[in-house]
Amino acid sequence: MAAEPTTKPAAAAGTVSLGDLTVNRMGLGAMRITGPGVWGDPPDRDGAKALLRRSLELGVNLIDTAFSYGPEVSENLIAEALHPYPDDLVIATKGGLSRPGPGQWVRDGRPETLRSSLEGSLRRLRLERIDVYQLHSVDPDVPIQESVGALVEFQREGKIRHIGLSNVDTRQLAAARAVATIVSVQNRYSVADRYSEGVLEVCERDGLAFLPWFPLMVGELASSTGRLAHIGRSHGATAAQVALAWLLRRSPVMTPIPGTSSVEHLEEDIAAAELQLSDSEFGELSHASEASL
């Protein structure tokens, strides 16, 4: 019988700091353990919980979720599957996006709404303090300083350990950092979508973790028949693994959180941490057009 590996796949990519917390750079996004359209229960609740447990076996110690995923479903499943939590597990959740109905995402950054969302997350996750609480999106009707200022107050109350942001530009990031210590930014980013390059550069310069959401563009890059697939074949890897390996090499603060409802795809995603791209492969992908990927 083969010996058990001494290093779990997620640890192969190294670590990143979230304030005084250290996590492996391959995390798990828990949006897709909900029903279709991120609404309601998943078709297989037991399967979703098995996926969460398997992620920890693979070395994942950062799980990203949100009140709005379900809504509430993702957080409830995390607690059902994993509580009591391992000491090294960091759960990051979010508030500031409401879900009045399927397909509806409404930004609401009012302090009273954020407090209600936070209290609900604490209850559902069975925690006294959230490790990383993120403003899910900036409300155009509420100054970001007011929304983030509310999170600072909750932090003083001992209900939040660290504050993160999601879906911000460089100007908004700077405004938030004027009133709070920010440890992470979660923006849309992938090898084919680099709109947030400026924000990533700020995070890299100042040591903030950068969590790219939709790192595979909702599966589009995983089904690539272009350069990603070509490079993957030379490594015995999939296009999705190459796309994730590119992200990990792009910056030491990059912390991908791919999401899936399949244990098979979870294992494939986490194994990307062990894929080492050559200098020429990384350069080729960095300069490739979206159409060629």
C-alpha 93/C-alpha 63 separation (Å) is 8
Longest alpha-carbon distance in the chain: 61
C-alpha 189/C-alpha 200 separation (Å) is 9
For residues 105 and 111, the answer to whether their CB atoms sit within 8 Å is: no
For residues 237 and 248, the answer to whether their CB atoms sit within 8 Å is: no
- The CA-atom distances, in angstroms, between 27 and each of 13, 55, 89, 147, 281 are 11, 9, 10, 26, 24
Q: Whose CA is closest to 58, among 1, 132, 5?
A: 5
85 is catalytic: no
DSSP 138-163: --TTS-HHHHHHHHHHHHHTTSEEEE
For residues 48 and 77, the answer to whether their CB atoms sit within 8 Å is: yes
- The CA-atom distances, in angstroms, between 24 and each of 18, 91, 216, 288 are 11, 13, 19, 28
Sign of the alpha-carbon torsion through 65, 68, 70, 72 = positive
From the candidates 69, 85, 133, 189, give the one annotated as an active-site residue: 69
For residues 185 and 193, the answer to whether their CB atoms sit within 8 Å is: no
Q: Which residue has the tokens 């490739």?
A: 288
C-alpha 137/C-alpha 98 separation (Å) is 10
> Would you please indicate which residues are annotated as catalytic (active-site) residues?
69
